[in-house]
Structure 1
């Protein structure tokens, strides 16, 4: 079966379009991810799928094909933090600071991303590393694995570890819209993590994503309707989330007020640059900075420790993480990771950051 035949099935319009079977979706995903179809056909198929809305089987097929084309290592069994690859514009990148708290608590953490994409074109993890003087595009596989082996924090430049994502970038930029690839790229699971925290923007996708994560066999997963569609729990209001475990999903509302952490964000919270993200990250990891960002990192870390069965309650996780900040353990681990990443392919760090 050729891509044109599959495209006719998903692109027949609102009444005529149908979901592909899993076998058909695997074929379509292979033709698209490995660019066995023309650019026009790829673009048309992705847009038709977007209009129809991707089924669970179709999303699963794209994840499977992307995984087959990626380098995946099993050297650390921890939690995968899967946020939007199109970045942030108005919110703090709490998951970056959270990663070092989790690792300091003994939970290996995987972060991954690439240069910004549509539709948001926001600040990405690549930009944060750039503000630290680290060129994410020049990081070798050996270098990031070495940094992770010494700290428990793995950062994966996704387009290097999954080359088809780089090859499909141009057409995605031209389309300028979300496609099934925006879902699949976050679920490549580069370190074969048993635990996952996954960000979504709309609560309308909760059910489909829960079914998908059940099929992908994570031990436990948390789907978070977080800041700007990220995996970051809000600190100024409750956050809707789904816990996926033992083949079932249940709604869970995480309210910072329950833990005495609800904090209003500063008025300037909407003005973000990569340098400011790193300034706030380093301030929090040193036990300082604005209380809202400190509390947000503590809450996100505590919830992820509980999800991963490293603590018996969120309250215990908060106590553990506060101690790691106060003792300087999390910041020391961050500096160790930063030093390991600032080797070949790195420029001089931004002075505004290193002065903190």
Structure 2
């Protein structure tokens, strides 16, 4: 007697990544955060192309809707760091730049350039022009003579030559760049935009991070603490590592895994009027001393002070040192 074909069918095996999607998406009562180990394993599978595109999209958007935890961020970071092939390169400041500016010019680029002239080794990295209507660091590197590096050897050479290097995320973590590029497909930024800020791929003495949305600053500080990193997290102008001198700035710091807080008062008695348009040539004019402009000078000086604070200089001395650096800068490009 023949067995009916229907009775011999077997259900397909569950995809190995499916449990991670289920953990995040099992409804209001069933869903939970990933543990640090689960996050590390899940990100490892993403980085090794062991997931379907549908799973990737679902995973990223469930995380975005839930809001990632410090443990998840730490686990994701560990997975990325485990797979990096970067050599040992001495860096003072890790400077992620992923948001782009739309209200003010990226004055932080002049801050980084001035610090580099004074011996501070800075590694900058970014994720390209992924959102319309914003001005990104990558678009201004050539005009400001900031080296664009496409491999780690070039980064090392640029740092040894001029203490400043920029490397696109695409060239050292292409899988993460692909996830960032899904922004226009999914309609929302994914948690990868936040993750890129905490990675500090070369193990710099201090990682600077700018997180715009309220509440996320403390999550990033906690994640850095779990990782044992030194970092300062701020709500920077436009989401970039740049102090807004018109408002109070809260610094969420962690040193050797121990958290600390500082509040820096506004540097201007009243708010400056934002420019009608962003003119990149104004960056060069200010650097060369051809114009005086209160807002950018306050912004870049306080941003330089932020980096020096991250390297252990107390606030008052950091501002004094930043002013000296700026006053004595080499204005040639």
Find the counterpart in structure 2 of residue 174 from structure 1. Answer: 185
Q: In the alignment, which of 56, 74, 88 is matched to residue 70 of structure 2?
A: 56
Call closer, same or farther: CA 1:30–1:172 in 2, change over 3 Å.
farther
Aligned counterpart, 1:10: 24
Counterpart in the other structure of 2:141: 129
In structure 2, distance between residues paired with 1:18 and 1:203: 22
CA shift digits 1:52-85 (9 cap, x unpaired): 22122211122122223334343223011223x2
Matched, 1:255 2:265: yes
Q: Return the offset for 1:35.
A: 2.2
Q: 1:246 to 1:90 in 2, by over 3 A?
A: same
Alignment check: 8 A CA contact 1:286 1:328 kept: no
Question: How many positions carry a matched residue from both structures?
Answer: 318
Shift of 1:262: 5.4
* Aligned residue number for residue 265 of structure 1: 272
The equivalent position to 1:238 in structure 2, one of 233, 248, 252, is: 248
Tell me the SS of whatever aligns to 1:15. Answer: helix
Q: How does 1:66-145 map to 2 (within 5 A)?
A: 66-83=80-97, 85-118=98-131, 122-129=134-141, 139-145=150-156
Give the distance between the partners of 2:147 and 2:165, measured in 1 at CA.
15
CA distance in 2, matches of 1:250, 1:132: 34
Other structure's SS at 2:170 match: helix
C-alpha distance in structure 1 between counterparts of 2:302 and 2:146, whole Å = 28
Distance 1:52 1:237, change over 3 A: closer
* Closer/same/farther in 2, CA of residues 303 and 170 from structure 1, 3 Å limit: closer
Change (3 A) 1:141 1:262: farther
More contact order relative to length (CA 8 Å, sep ≥ 6): 1
In the other structure, the counterpart of 1:197 is 208
State the 1:134 CA deviation. 8.5
* 1:300 paired residue number: 303
Is the Cα–Cα contact under 8 Å of residues 263 and 295 in structure 1 kept in the other structure? no
Larger Rg: 2
1:347 alignment counterpart: none
RMSD of equivalent CA atoms: 2.6
Larger helix share, 1 or 2: 1
Q: TM-score normalised to the size of structure 1?
A: 0.80
CA change 1:170–1:314 in 2 (3 A) is: closer
> Does residue 46 in structure 1 map to residue 60 in structure 2?
yes
Unaligned runs of 5+ in 2: 1-14
| Distance across 2 between alignment mates of 1:114 and 1:6 | 26
TM-score (norm 2): 0.85
Instruction: Work out the CA distance in 1 between the residues paired with 2:24 and 2:251.
Output: 30
